[in-house]
Amino acid sequence: MKHKVLVVGVAVLVLAGVVAWNLLQPERLTASTLEKAQEVQKRLDQETARVKPAEAKPVDVAQAQPTPAPKPAEPAKSAESAKAADPNVFKVKCECSNGTFVVEVHKDWAPLGAARFEELVKAGFYDEGRFFRVVPNFVVQFGLAADPAVSAKWRAQRLQDDPKKQSNAVGTLTFATSGPNTRTTQLFINLVDNARLDDMGFTPFGKVVEGMDVVKAITAKYGEQPQQPMIEMQGSAYLKTQFPDMDYIKKATIVP
């Protein structure tokens, strides 16, 4: 019995020594622990790669510079500025009792007629002159001076006819005549297209480019009542007395 107890005691001591030895030894790297360690490292690498910020691309210095503003294109010359530079074209502003209109004169349409009109405007011939004949849907006529002495001065200065180049379209300005080569100072503005006048010696030399509504609004109250011989003798004094509401040109001037 004592022998068995002794054997058991020895066995316990041996077992206790083995356990103590294992506790004192460092952890051994077995195949199983190596696999686990590799798996853990792999997961760590994956997590690091997932959260690692993307490398910023280098900025191209050339691209970072501000783009220079394009040079503005030169504005195209307008048709109006081209006309202003054309020596064959000039404009006349007519300030009237009922408004203002502007006539654009083309010397190449009728050189003699355009030159006479320019001369008369510069001389102030049309200032205070009345629109003494207004026929609706046909023409507005004027061109007898306010001063009868001025009209008399020009009465014998007749022009040769200009060759026909333009039609008597609405808004065109034309000299009145009493036959071939009889143009002096009287004018009319076509209120409608009057092409039937083209072959009768009526040659347009200009057209209304502003204020055609003013031209069409010139009073037609007196129609063709005024007598031209009386106008030539008494001028605007006759018209003011007999036709007080007649519209007239206050001032005609050449403008740029």
Annotated domain spans of the chain? 82-255
Amino acid letter, residue 52: K
Mean pLDDT of the chain: 81
Lowest mean pLDDT among 25-34, 87-96, 239-248: 25-34
234 or 64: which leads in pLDDT? 234
Residues near 215 by Cβ (< 8 Å), separated by ≥ 6?
101, 140, 171, 189, 191, 208
* 41 has pLDDT over 80: no
- Find the mean pLDDT for residues 25-40: 46
- Find the mean pLDDT for residues 137-166: 97
| Backbone torsion region of residue 56, taken as left when φ is above 0, otherwise alpha when ψ lies between -120 and 50, otherwise beta | beta
Q: Do 191 and 215 contact (CB within 8 A), yes or no? A: yes
Task: Report the alpha-carbon distance of residue 42 to residue 55 in Å, rounded.
Answer: 22
Q: pLDDT > 70: what percent of the chain?
A: 67
Note the pLDDT tens digit of each residue in 161-209: 999 999 999 999 999 999 999 999 999 999 999 999 999 999 999 999 9
Task: Report the alpha-carbon distance of residue 182 to residue 196 in Å, rounded.
Answer: 19
Q: Do 91 and 107 contact (CB within 8 A), yes or no? A: no
> What is the structure's pLDDT at 20?
40
Note the pLDDT tens digit of each residue in 66-125: 555 566 555 555 555 555 578 999 999 999 999 999 999 999 999 999 999 999 999 999
Tell me whether strands 89-96 and 249-255 are parallel, antiparallel or unpaired. antiparallel
| Backbone torsion region of residue 213, taken as left when φ is above 0, otherwise alpha when ψ lies between -120 and 50, otherwise beta | alpha
Residues near 88 by Cβ (< 8 Å), separated by ≥ 6?
106, 107, 108
- Find the mean pLDDT for residues 120-147: 98
Task: Report the alpha-carbon distance of residue 191 to residue 147 in Å, rounded.
Answer: 27
Architecture of domain 82-255: Beta Barrel (2.40)
Closest C-alpha to 165, from 193, 212, 137, 206: 206
E strands of the chain, at which residues?
89-96, 99-106, 133-135, 139-142, 172-175, 187-190, 204-210, 249-255
DSSP per-residue codes, 116-171 = HHHHHHHTTTTTT-B--EEETTTEEEE---SSHHHHHHHTT-PBPPPPP-S---TT
Residue 235, φ and ψ in degrees, nearest 5: 70, -150
- Provide the token pair at 8: 């058991």
> What is the structure's pLDDT at 49?
56
* 28 has pLDDT over 90: no
> What is the structure's pLDDT at 17?
44
> What is the structure's pLDDT at 160?
97
